[in-house]
Amino acid sequence: MEPTLEFEKPIAEIEEMIAKLKKLSEDKKGDFSNQIKELEKECVEHKERIYANLTPWQIVQIARHPKRPVLEDYLSLICDEFIELHGDRRFADDQALIGGFATLDSRRVMLIGHNKGKSVDENIKRNFGQARPDGYRKALRLMKLAEKFRLPVITLIDTQGAYPGRDGEERGQHEAIARNLTEMARLEVPVVACVIGEGGSGGAIGIGVGDVILMLQNAIYSVISPEGCAAILWRDAAKAPEAADALKLTAQSLHELGICDEIIPEPAGGAHHNHSETVENIKNTLVKYVDKLSRLSGSKLVQKRFEKYSKIGMFAD
Amino acid sequence: MGWFTKSKQDKRVIKDEIWTRCESCKAHIFKEDWTNNLSVCPRCNFHGRITAYERIGQILDSGSFKEINQSITPSDPLEFSDAKGSYAEKVKASRKKAGLNESVITGTGQIKEIPVVVAVMDFRFLGGSLGSGTGEKILRAANTAYSQRLPYIVFSASGGARMHEGVLSLMQMAKTCAGIARLDKRGLPYFSVLTHPTTGGVSASYAMVGDINISEPGALIGFAGRRVIEQTIKQKLPENFQTAEYLVEKGFIDCIVQRKDMKNTLAALLAYYQSKR
């Protein structure tokens, strides 16, 4: 049974009833076609009402949904091939953040992304997609490799944040992220950054300096987690829904703020309801931008990227 | 009001005018001694926080500082409000309290007659947080260094990115680093001085990518907060964790410089860069 989000319960209940009636019909216990039709209509209405009015906090739940497609799904569903490259050549191979040579609709790209797992075991090995400095340094190594081979870089962002552990601090989590921001600013190949789930703070932007920033419809991108923000500014982590609202972290908000260049649609209720539809959407959009950006020279890309980031921010003068 | 309450209050005021309490060793120091010692504790050498203008006074040749982009100040792009009130009100209070428009002061000046561009953060303004205005000023100052071919020195003092501006403040990390990256193209020196405290999004952007990273004794420098780390790993951290000394040991800081020696050190480094052999 799929985990159901609180606000989806009315839908799940109706769907369960429909399934039961269908089972009865199949078992020839009577004709329930009228009831089924009625319930299906009701279900569609519920979906339209609920999914059209999602609050930011509900979107956070969707972005973190355990059944939401993760990097691994995209690698198998959008890439014709993927050759993973391992290690930062400094300390370790961080499985929370991986990358390698990929082929996407016959285009060769360097694909890098946070690697959330689907099971507990996977998540332990991949540290829930929370990378250490080694992950960011591996990502940079791969980006420099992409530059050498003139490969566009695609980064798929999905992390709660960079791992806040002792070893990360000791090996310079700050330096690793700062270095990536600086080097990505002058990388002479196209960089397409796409938030597929959670865009958590420094851990997200550490691979996120793109010529374009794309977001899946129910992805979030924030300077701090709603829980963290609530704990600091409301002194109560339970106020996370309020913080989620205040932080303007949805794709829609980021688009309005001029940070997200394009929102990639998801099926009603979120990507976890229909993986293949999401995958198709994301693939087409990534390819579109890779093609568009590949027409620009390296120096032009760097110049335009500098101009893009120079313009981000709102202040009074 | 009773006469006793009043007299108590007066005493308090007098006491505050005369004494400063060291944040680290808790000793009471004569304010005059504290100030004459550049806000460094004469007992334990704790380097206390100073304002951006005090820092500028200590580093730049007297009268050489010309401020740029002084009028940049936060707008409230998200119309952010939390339990304690609106961001707009906090900005207003901070502007009044600190007498500043943003958490960083930028401009040009000279260090022992060597022209430089400086950006100096001030912790009093919203905890020195990195907002849109801060990022803009740090970038513009970098651009001034780039176009006038001058060395760039940034003094950081910050709790990190400013939550009240949401992802706009996060993006300032990339924006400032893009400005720093350009300096390399022209071979311009970029020195980062990480003062107490430099944490979060500021440590993870421009503060950590100096050609030379310098700090002051005992400064707190870290990415994640101590409490968050302890909760994550369920262990106590060593006493010196995330201090400047710890970062030197781990290889992220070139040198720790006493405040009284900072100007001479920077001047020596600048002169070294400039000498043509």
Looking at beta carbons, which residues of chain A come within 8 Å of B205?
A: 177-178, 181
pLDDT digits (tens, 9 = 90+) for A263-290: 999 988 899 888 888 999 999 999 999 9
- Coil, helix or strand for A45? helix
Average pLDDT over chain A reads 94
Percent of chain A whose predicted confidence (pLDDT) is above 90: 80
* Predicted confidence (pLDDT) at residue B11 exceeds the cutoff of 80: no
Stretch 16-75 of chain A: residues touching chain B, C-beta under 8 Å: none
Cross-chain Cβ contact A172/B250 below 8 Å: yes
State the pairing for strand pair A315-316/B73-74: antiparallel
Residue A1 — pLDDT band, cuts 50, 70, 90?
very low
Residue A204 — pLDDT band, cuts 50, 70, 90?
very high
pLDDT digits (tens, 9 = 90+) for B219-253: 999 999 998 899 888 989 999 999 999 999 999 99
* Predicted confidence (pLDDT) at residue A2 exceeds the cutoff of 80: no
Average pLDDT over residues B92-114: 97
CATH of B49-274, one of 3.20.190.10, 3.40.50.1000, 3.90.226.10, 3.40.50.300: 3.90.226.10
Tokens of residue A317, six digits: 């003068």
* Predicted confidence (pLDDT) at residue A11 exceeds the cutoff of 90: no
* Predicted confidence (pLDDT) at residue A65 exceeds the cutoff of 90: yes
Q: Is A159 on the interface with B (CB under 8 A)?
A: no
Percent of chain A whose predicted confidence (pLDDT) is above 70: 99
- Coil, helix or strand for A30? coil
* Separation CA B46–CA B145 (nearest Å): 32
* Separation CA B107–CA B56 (nearest Å): 10
Looking at beta carbons, which residues of chain A come within 8 Å of B159?
A: none
- What number of C-beta contacts closer than 8 Å exist between A and B? 201
Tokens of residue A222, six digits: 């924030």
Greater model confidence, A269 or A196: A196
Would you state the pLDDT for residue A224?
Answer: 95
DSSP assignments along A68-135, one per residue: S--HHHHHHHH-SEEEEE---SSS---TTEEEEEEEETTEEEEEEEE---SSHHHHHHTGGG---HHH
* Separation CA A199–CA A201 (nearest Å): 6
- The structural domains of chain A, ordered by start, are 1-24+33-53 (no CATH), 60-310 (3.90.226.10)
Cross-chain Cβ contact A221/B180 below 8 Å: no
* Separation CA B180–CA A64 (nearest Å): 35
Average pLDDT over residues B80-87: 92
Percent of chain B whose predicted confidence (pLDDT) is above 90: 86
Residue A121 phi, psi (nearest 5): -60, -45
Cross-chain Cβ contact A249/B167 below 8 Å: yes
Average pLDDT over residues B104-127: 98
Residue A102 phi, psi (nearest 5): -135, 155
Would you state the pLDDT for residue A43?
Answer: 87
Residue A8 — pLDDT band, cuts 50, 70, 90?
confident
- The beta-carbon neighbor of B173 closest among A205, A224, A249 is A205
Would you state the pLDDT for residue A46?
Answer: 86
Q: Is A234 on the interface with B (CB under 8 A)?
A: yes
Number of neighbours of residue A92 by Cβ within 10 angstroms = 17
pLDDT digits (tens, 9 = 90+) for B29-48: 999 999 999 999 999 999 99
* Separation CA A97–CA A295 (nearest Å): 29
Q: Is A137 on the interface with B (CB under 8 A)?
A: no
* Separation CA B16–CA B30 (nearest Å): 10
Q: Is B149 exposed, middle or buried (0-12, 13-18, 19+ CB in 10 A)?
A: exposed
Would you state the pLDDT for residue B42?
Answer: 93
Q: Residue B241 in contact with residue B262, Cβ under 8 Å?
A: no
Residue B258 identity (one-letter amino acid)? Q
* Separation CA A21–CA B231 (nearest Å): 49
- The beta-carbon neighbor of A315 closest among B133, B177, B203 is B133
If we measure between CA atoms, which residue out of A99, A92, A10 comes closest to residue A51? A10
C-alpha gyration radius of chain A: 21
Average pLDDT over residues A88-114: 97
Distance from CA of A157 to the nearest CA of B (A): 15
Residue A213 phi, psi (nearest 5): -120, 115
Q: Residue A43 in contact with residue A15, Cβ under 8 Å?
A: yes
Q: Is A92 on the interface with B (CB under 8 A)?
A: no
Cβ-proximal residues to B218 (8 Å cutoff; 6+ apart), any chain? B24, B45, B46, B47, B196, B243, B244, B245
Average pLDDT over chain B reads 93
If we measure between CA atoms, which residue out of A246, A219, A254 comes closest to residue A230? A246
* Predicted confidence (pLDDT) at residue B10 exceeds the cutoff of 80: no
Which chain B residue shows the shortest CA-CA distance from A202?
B201
* Predicted confidence (pLDDT) at residue A52 exceeds the cutoff of 90: no
Looking at beta carbons, which residues of chain A come within 8 Å of B165?
A: 223, 314
Residue B55 — pLDDT band, cuts 50, 70, 90?
very high
The dihedral through the CA atoms of A97, A100, A106, A108 has a sign that is positive
Cβ-proximal residues to A247 (8 Å cutoff; 6+ apart), any chain? A56, A222, A223, A224, A226, A229, B78, B163, B166, B167
ipTM above 0.90, yes or no: yes
* Predicted confidence (pLDDT) at residue B13 exceeds the cutoff of 60: no
pLDDT digits (tens, 9 = 90+) for B170-225: 999 999 999 999 999 999 999 999 999 999 999 999 999 999 999 999 999 999 99
Average pLDDT over residues B19-31: 91
If we measure between CA atoms, which residue out of A200, A300, A61, A269 comes closest to residue B170? A200
- The beta-carbon neighbor of B77 closest among A162, A249, A314 is A314
Average pLDDT over residues A154-160: 97
Residue environment code for A19-33, b if the CB has 16+ CB neighbours within 10 A, otherwise e:
eebeeeeeeeeeebe
Residue showing tokens 């005992």: B218
Paired strand residues for B73: A316
Cross-chain Cβ contact A317/B181 below 8 Å: no
Cross-chain Cβ contact B170/A247 below 8 Å: no
* Separation CA B164–CA B216 (nearest Å): 29
Q: Which DSSP helix (H) or strand (E) runs through B19?
A: strand B19-21
The Cα-based distances of B16 to A231, B22, B123 in angstroms read 33, 13, 21
Would you state the pLDDT for residue B274?
Answer: 86
